[in-house]
Amino acid sequence: MGVKGFVEGGIASVVAGCSTHPLDLIKVRMQLQGENHAPKPNPAVHSLRPALAFQPGSVHQVVPPIPQAAAAAAAAPARVGPITVGVRLIQQEGVTALFSGVSATVLRQCLYSTTRMGLYEVLRQKWSDPNKGTMPLSRKIGAGLISGAIGAAIGNPADVAMVRMQADGRLPAAQRRNYTSVVDAITRMGKQEGVTSLWRGSSLTVNRAMLVTASQLATYDQVKEAILKKGVMRDGLGTHVTASFAAGFVAAVASNPVDVIKTRVMNMKVEPGAQPPYSGALDCALKTVRAEGPMALYKGFIPTISRQGPFTVVLFVTLEQVRKLLKDF
């Protein structure tokens, strides 16, 4: 029973992850909007300004200094919505760019989602009331927190690789990492940045996974049970889709702030001998809020909910069908 739960959860997760990958990629690009756009002052330009001041008989005019705040505002691109991000991505990088990092998504789902889905099923079997066949909401949340944390810790290297591969196209050509696959990404990160870089942002990944798994799986089970108990619908596609959308919405609201910080910490480029842009999750959160305002933590929320909805529906509908196919095994 235990192994079958892992297999069922793994198959459903890979199908859901691959089918919604373009939405996840757009979400990542939106979460990185507005990051590190403030221009660095150019000493050479400033040193020329006194020489350009007006002199009698000279044709030169005084060049007023440009305030740094105004320069930063001028350099920062306007924030755009998910449709614009998607259209620009296709125009600049081609249709295939929508599936950048899909190999990392497959590996991530095989490691992270297979573990969390399988563990949740094991805990549900152990903690359910043997007479009623259900367990209280508090235990569902507890099972989600535990299974999400363990799954995230195992899948973090694939998560880092996925974020970097999805974000690579937004960098100037000279700064791109150009990973050819998830294996290439993980191998190069281990060699160039050390093995510990594979667990960069792991505390955020674990926190996000705990929130997502607890809210997603517990909400799905709770809503599904309520629908069946009240006789609103029978146990079929309509019930599964309704419970899935509810689960996706709750998971998106709960996890988006952590997801934004996780994306930025994982994607930051650390030059040898230089200070990293962020010293950790809290530093990233504070810098993001100070520079871009509190609502920056909900950047990419529309594509997040647009992805979480379909992802959760595909995940649970596929899961229910796989369970039917494997019920005799």
Please return the burial class of 323, using the count of CB atoms within 10 Å of its CB with bins 0-12, 13-18 and 19+.
middle
User: What is the pTM for the complete model shown?
Assistant: 0.73
SS3 of residue 75 by DSSP = helix
| pLDDT value, residue 49 | 43
| pLDDT value, residue 306 | 81
What is the per-residue DSSP string for 135-190? --HHHHHHHHHHHHHHHHHHHHHHHHHHHHHHHGGGS-GGG----SSHHHHHHHHH
**Could you read off the pLDDT of 163-194 as tens digits, one per residue?**
899 888 888 888 899 999 999 999 999 999 99
**Could you read off the pLDDT of 110-164 as tens digits, one per residue?**
999 999 999 999 999 899 888 777 889 999 999 999 999 999 999 999 999 998 9
**Tokens 């926190």 identify what position?**
207
Q: Is the pLDDT of residue 72 over 50?
A: no
Mean pLDDT of the residues in the chain: 84
**Residue from 52, 51, 29 nearest 101 by CA:** 29
Encoded tokens for 196:
């510990």
Mean pLDDT of 317-326: 93
| pLDDT value, residue 133 | 73
Q: Is the pLDDT of residue 41 over 60?
A: no
Residue 270 or 295, more confident: 295
Encoded tokens for 116:
């969390």
- State the Cα–Cα distance between residues 243 and 87, nearest whole angstrom: 31
| pLDDT value, residue 156 | 93
Mean pLDDT of 245-255: 92
| pLDDT value, residue 198 | 93
Encoded tokens for 55:
């002199």
| pLDDT value, residue 108 | 92
**Could you read off the pLDDT of 276-316 as tens digits, one per residue?**
889 888 999 999 999 999 999 988 888 788 888 899 999 99
Over pLDDT 90: what percentage of the chain? Answer: 53
- State the Cα–Cα distance between residues 305 and 248, nearest whole angstrom: 7
Residue 64 or 277, more confident: 277
Question: Contact, 186 vs 157, CB < 8 A?
Answer: yes
Encoded tokens for 181:
């696959």
Going from the C-alpha of 265 to that of each of 108, 175, 283, the distances in angstroms are 18, 17, 10
**Could you read off the pLDDT of 137-149 as tens digits, one per residue?**
999 999 999 999 9
Number of H helices, E strands in the chain: 13, 0
Structural domains for the chain = 2-37+67-325 (1.50.40.10)
**Tokens 């594509």 identify what position?**
303
Question: Contact, 261 vs 204, CB < 8 A?
Answer: yes
- CA 270, distance to chain mean position in Å, is 20
